[in-house]
Amino acid sequence: MSIKRILCIGDSWTALGHNVLQNELRKHGDKFLVSAVPQSGSTAQMWASNPFALKQAIYNAPDAQIIWLSVGGNDITHKFMQGFTKETGMPVIERDIETILDVIIDTAPNAKIVHFGYDFPTFPPAMLQIFNQSSQSVNQVMIDFSAMIKKVSQKQKYINKFFTVEMTGTLQRAGNIPNVPNFTVGSPQEFMNDPIHPNQRGFQILMSRFWDQFLNAELSGVNVAKQETSKNVDELSEEELLQLALEMSKEQQ
């Protein structure tokens, strides 16, 4: 039996989620082994500025065939409180994620990298009011982030190397919230440990989707790349990015 190792690199979502991922994979046999190098609170900027840490994580798991990368959420959180906008903040995160991808690909050229973004947070109304935000504005940022990483995955140099799985709205659907993705509310409280982190049940739901949308096909040896390659462009226009976000929202309904 061929064992496939998944290496988890990134922020608190990998810290809290990697054990749940291992438990999810045990439901499907013993073909996967999960290792993790999480740094709670870390940002994409931090990982991009410290390539040695990235390389060291990979050197410690040289047989990793899949790398779950979870970065960018803390960049948004830190910048959001300072007036983050898609126009001013997202391009910086995108550049940092590309820097990270380039280091990983150079160090582990045969590994497949996957980023599934983040599901909607659940901020209390009082907190949203303090920062002059709303559930709609917060959820839109998460949709924009998912669209950004999908756009990155479609760049020619990342085809068949970097993959994405759409997660926004997954917990809403599990909680039977109508009109998913619903921009008027966050993820259900029953699936959240705090405003930005799912609890164990929430991560179980997310990891089940991770299996269904990526890992199952990978385990079976099926090509899971569903990236649109008709346009070999490194940048999408604002209109194309908006259309991509809308298409992703429709896929979740």
Enter the pTM of the model: 0.84
CA 140 – CA 147 distance, rounded (Å): 10
In the Cβ-directed half-sphere of 190, how many Cα atoms lie within 13 Å?
8
Query: What pLDDT was estimated at residue 249?
Result: 52
What are the mean pLDDT values of the chain's consecutive 10-residue runs (253 residues total)?
Answer: 87 97 91 92 96 95 95 87 72 96 97 97 90 89 95 97 97 97 96 97 98 87 44 48 53 49
Is the Cβ–Cβ distance between 191 and 205 less than 8 Å? yes
Q: What pLDDT score does 231 carry?
A: 42
As a CATH number, domain 4-251 is 3.40.50.1110
Give the model's pLDDT for residue 129.
86
Crossing angle for the helix pair 135-153 and 238-251, to the nearest 10 degrees: 100
pLDDT of residue 244: 56
| Residue ranges covered by each domain of the chain | 4-251
